[in-house]
Structure 1
C-alpha cells in the first residue's frame, strides 16, 4: 500500500523495450541501498517491483497490461516521474491509502496559474467519473489530491507550491496523460448504493 505522499522525482535513464515487456531504470535523488530486490515502488502511481538496483538507480519490468493501462509506456529518456516507496507499518498516512493499481489515464485539458496556486483540469472516461466528487480524494500520478471541483467531463485540482516542488505536475502541458487511481472507499460506496437502490425500489413497488 501507498500513502499518496510523493517522496520526490525519479528520472528515466535506461529503457529496454521488447515485445510485451519494457525494462526501465530510474535514477533517484537519494541512495537506494536500503531498497530491497522485490520491493514495491510506485512510479507515477503505478506499483512496480524492483528487479535490480545500483546505488541511486532502481530497475523495474513493465508488462504489456501495465503499459496499456498507464502512461508509463509513453515515457522518454530523461523524463521525470513521481515516486513513493511502499508504506511501512507505523508510517503516517498523510494522504489516503492507495494500492498503486491505476484505473485509467486522463488527459490534461487546461491549466490556470495564479499567485501560489496551479489549477489543473483533467478529463476522465465516463465509467470512472461517477466515482469522483467535490472535496473527495483521488490519486493523480501517485499523489493523493483533493478534488477542487467536478465538471461535466472530469475534475479540477488545485496545487500549492510545496506539491509543485516535490512532484512533476508543474511541467504538465495540455494533452499530457496522467494516471488515475479512484479512491477505493468511494468506489465501494457508489457501487453498493447503485446495486441496493433498485432492489429496495422493487421491494417497495411489490409491497404496494
Structure 2
C-alpha cells in the first residue's frame, strides 16, 4: 500500500525487453533506498513494482504484459521522468489516501489553466472508470493522491498547487498526454457490495455523502 504522496522524481535508465516482458532500470535520484531490500514494493508513476535488483543509483523491476497493457510504463524511454514512492509503513503519516498501486486504466490530460498560483487540470477517463470518480472524492494520477474538484460525464478536474507541480512529473505533462489512474478503492468495494445484493446493509446517508447514491 501507498499514500499517493510522491517522495522523489526518478529517471528511466533503461528498458530491456525480456521474452515479451520488460525490465525497467530506474535512477531514483534523492530517494533513500537504504531501507529497501529485494522483493520490496516501490510505486513508479502509480504502478506497484517489485525491486528485483538494487544498486547505489536505483533499482530494477520486471513489468508484466498485464501492467504494460494497462499503464503508461510501456511507452517510457530512457531519460523519462517517473514519480516514486516507497511502500507505506504502519508508522507513517497517511498524508494522501490509501493507494494500492494497481492501475485501473489510462486517462488523458485535456487542459491546463492557471488559477492564481495554482493550476486547474482537466482529465478524460474511460467510460468504465467514470462512475468511480466523485466530487470531492480521491483519485490517484501517476501515483499522486489528488482531490476531485468537479465531475462532468467522463471528465473531471483537479487543482494542483505549485509544490505538487514542482515535485512530480506534472511539470512535464501537456494536454494529450496519457496518465495512469487508480480510482478510490472504497468505490470499488461499494460497487461489489451493491452487485452482491448487500445494498440494504449500507447506510444510505453514507452513500450519498460519498457521491455513490
TM-score scaled by length of structure 2: 0.88
Question: C-alpha separation between the residues in 2 aligned to 1:63 and 1:26?
Answer: 16
2:14–2:77 CA contact under 8 A, matched in 1: no
1:10–1:83 CA contact under 8 A, matched in 2: yes
- Structure 1 residue runs of 5 or longer lacking an equivalent are 200-208
- Greater radius of gyration (CA): 1
Alignment match, 1:206: none
Give the drift of 1:32.
2.3
Alignment match, 1:204: none
Q: How many residues align?
A: 200
Deviations 1:42-86 (A, max 9, x none): 001100000101112111110111100100001111100111000
Deviations 1:61-117 (A, max 9, x none): 101111001000011111001110000111111111011100001011111123311
Alignment match, 1:75: 76
1:33–1:56 CA contact under 8 A, matched in 2: no
1:180 aligns with 2:181: yes
Alignment match, 1:202: none
2:139–2:181 CA contact under 8 A, matched in 1: yes
1:11–1:27 CA contact under 8 A, matched in 2: yes
- Structure 2 residue runs of 5 or longer lacking an equivalent are 201-213
Question: C-alpha separation between the residues in 2 aligned to 1:32 and 1:126?
Answer: 38
Once superposed, what is the RMSD of the aligned Cα atoms?
1.9
Alignment match, 1:14: 14
SS in 1 for 2:22: strand
Instruction: Between 183-192 and 123-132, report the one with greater CA deviation.
Output: 183-192
1:140 aligns with 2:144: no
SS in 2 for 1:147: strand
TM-score scaled by length of structure 1: 0.90
1:12–1:26 CA contact under 8 A, matched in 2: yes
Alignment match, 2:119: 118
Alignment match, 1:48: 49
